[in-house]
Amino acid sequence: MSSRVAVPKRKFGWTGVGVPIIGQGTWQINQGSHKDKMQAIKALQLGLDLGLAHIDTAEMYGNGQAEEIVAEAIAGRRDEVFLVSKVLPSNASYEGTLKACKRSLKRLKTDWLDLYLLHWPSSYPIRETMRAMEKLVDDGLIRFFGVSNFDVADLQEAEQALSKHRIVCNQVLYSLDQRGIERQLLPYCTEQQIAIVGYSPFGHGNFPSSNSQQGKVLADIGKRHGNRTPRQVALNYLVRHPNVFSIPKASNPQHTRENAESAIGWSLSEQDIAVIDRTFPIGDDISLQMI
């Protein structure tokens, strides 16, 4: 096993459960050759070694193939993982949600999920999906449930549809270029003790290049903190709020290591944060990216 570095944890919403502030995404890990997939499995396992124990997947990713790859990566290590999957909105009727969860559990070769999310707002009544989520908790198939790509109004509707359990998480787009959640959604979720998990922290591969003005700002800040990379600066910035977690996807083990070390033993100064705030100005409230 690789040398352990401590990726910090923080309490996940109202649960009191400590979850690493940086996790691992899995969208598109099923793509490429067999060798690429084996490398993606190695990257996930290295991530676990380094404490990136929050693994995010979905029935949608590769039509279930990403979940099967995750199953290989976590075999024999299930207890180390905070495992998250998502139901597709097109499956999110009451019965459909129960069935989708059982299919995900089978592909993931586990008896339970730590967190199950509705991937984005569905045309099925939210009360049906929430009723199914409550049943899955009662049956011990999931520990917690939440939503993804929900704005404040969607969230309030979902909260009102519940009868005995609470939403713990809203997973939303959050990157340097997409800071809209900071306006209303982040304050609302923080008040309600709903964890924000930010996805696509590197813009789904569209990260400022090293010769752009924005890239140079990040590089300068990184240099002043012991040669941190621009992406490490970005991740450190994105998890600066105590209610935010981030789930970069890396299939290259070097990237995984770099991401794990982004939030260990250092933090940005107030001045650095002000510079990044100005370089990446806040945009609209929430940008729904339905993937």
Where do contacts with ligand NAP occur on this chain (CB under 6 A)? 25-27, 56, 119, 148-149, 171, 199-205, 231, 247-252, 255, 258-259, 289, 291
Dihedral sign, CA of 125, 131, 132, 134?
positive
Shortest CB 78 distance to ligand NAP, Å? 19
Nearer Cβ to ligand NAP (72/258): 258
CB of 287 to ligand NAP, least distance (A): 11
Picking from 136, 131, 77, 126, the residue whose alpha carbon sits closest to that of residue 105 is: 136
Q: Is 107 or 231 the residue whose CB approaches ligand NAP more closely?
A: 231
| Nearest to 107, CA basis, from 18, 204, 26 | 26
- Kindly tell me which of 132 and 147 has the beta carbon lying closer to ligand NAP: 147
CB 196 to ligand NAP: min, Å: 12
Q: Which is nearer to ligand NAP, 141 or 196 (CB)?
A: 196
Nearest to ligand NAP of 55, 98 (CB atom): 55
For residue 285, give every residue at least 6 positions away whose Cβ sits within 8 Å of its Cβ, in sequence order, or none: 151, 180, 181, 183, 184, 185
Q: Which is nearer to ligand NAP, 65 or 289 (CB)?
A: 289
- What minimum distance in Å lies between the beta carbon of 163 and ligand NAP? 25
Q: How far is the CB of 58 from ligand NAP (least distance, A)?
A: 7
- As measured in angstroms, the least distance from the Cβ of 75 to ligand NAP is 20
Residue 283 CB, shortest distance to ligand NAP, in Å, is 16
Produce one character per residue of 66-83: b if its CB has 16 or more CB atoms within 10 Å, e if not: bbbbbbebbeeeeeebbb
Residue nearest ligand NAP, CB atom distance: 25
Q: To the nearest whole angstrom, how small is the minimum distance from the Cβ of residue 156 to ligand NAP?
A: 19
Give the residue with the Cβ less far from ligand NAP, 25 or 208.
25
In which residue are the tokens 């939503």 written? 147
Residue 172 forms beta bridges with which residues? 198
**Dihedrals phi, psi of 149, to nearest 5 degrees:** 60, 35
Residue pair 73/41 in contact by the 8 Å Cβ criterion: yes
Burial 265-288 (b: 16+ CB within 10 A, else e): eeebeeebeebbeebbeeeeebbe
Nearer to ligand NAP, 202 or 237 (CB): 202
